[in-house]
Structure 1
Amino acid sequence: MIRQLSVFVENKPGSLMDVTSRLTEAHINIRAVASFDTPEFGILRLVVDKPAEAKGCLTEKGFVVRLHDVIGAELEDKKGNLNQMLAILAEGRINVNYIYSFVIREGKAPVLVFSTDDYERAAQILKDAGVKIVEESDL
């Protein structure tokens, strides 16, 4: 599993930069980022190299932060691979709450990060189908 930060930010100019500036100052490397917005607030989802330290740093600065487990599935950059993985999960009756990817991994395959309500079963279904599950230590 991978631990992901969910940071609640105001939907206004500079709010995302406030988060990234704090992490930069704390020497925390952002490996993946996705932003989901509503009219007033957004949720910034981050995979970083030091998740517990990042949560502490941001909480100390007044941000509302939650740490969640997510699954990282390494998929070869090949047409249809995302659809194939989603089909495997659908057959296993696993719901995907949200999904995003990151590709900058120094020559390694892209990773799709997703949230589900049944992490262990989802990871096992994917492993059984030959999909490589990425752990934090692999990042």
Structure 2
Amino acid sequence: MIRQISVFVENQPGSMLKVTSVLSDAGVNIRAISTFDTPEFGIMRLVVDDPVQAKNSLTEKGFVTRVSEVIGAELKDEQGNLNQMLKILAEGRINVNYIYSFVIRKGKAPVMVFHTDDFGKAEEVLRAADVKLVEEEEL
């Protein structure tokens, strides 16, 4: 499992900069990021090298944060690999709530990060299909 931190920010200029500045000042390295917005607010989802430090630093600065578990699946950069992983999950009747990727891993394959309500079953069906799952310390 990988721990992801979600940060709720106002949808206005500079709000993401405030988050990244807090993390930078705290010495936290951002490894992946995904954002979602509405007219009033945004949600930043981040995979970082130190989720505890990230949460503590952001909370101290008044940000609303949440740490949750996500699954990281290593997929070779080849046509159809994402489709195959999603097929495995669908056949296992596992819903994917959201998904994003990151590739900055020095010579390693890209990782698809996804959230589901059934982590145990998702891990089980992916491992049974020989999909390499990535743990937090491997990032």
TM-score range, shorter chain: over 0.9
Q: Quick one: percent identity of the two aligned structures?
A: 70
| Structure 2 counterpart of 1:29 | 29
| Structure 1: gaps of 5 or more residues | none
AA partner of residue 36 (structure 1): F
Cα deviation, 1:45-78, whole Å, max 9, x if unaligned, reads 0000000110000000000000000000000000
Q: Does 1:104 align with 2:121?
A: no
TM-score scaled by length of structure 1: 0.99
- Runs of 4+ residues over 6 Å off in structure 1: none
Cα deviation, 1:89-114, whole Å, max 9, x if unaligned, reads 00000000000000010010000000
| Structure 1 counterpart of 2:74 | 74
What is the CA RMSD across the aligned residues, in angstroms?
A: 0.4
Q: Does 1:7 align with 2:18?
A: no
* Residues paired across the two proteins, number: 139
- Partner secondary structure for residue 16 of structure 1: helix
Matches within 5 A, 1:28-47: 28-47=28-47
AA partner of residue 97 (structure 1): N
- Partner secondary structure for residue 97 of structure 1: strand
- Partner secondary structure for residue 96 of structure 2: coil
| Structure 1 counterpart of 2:52 | 52
TM-score scaled by length of structure 2: 0.99
Partner Cα separation in structure 2 for residue 47 and residue 8 of structure 1: 15
Partner Cα separation in structure 2 for residue 123 and residue 103 of structure 1: 21
| Structure 1 counterpart of 2:120 | 120
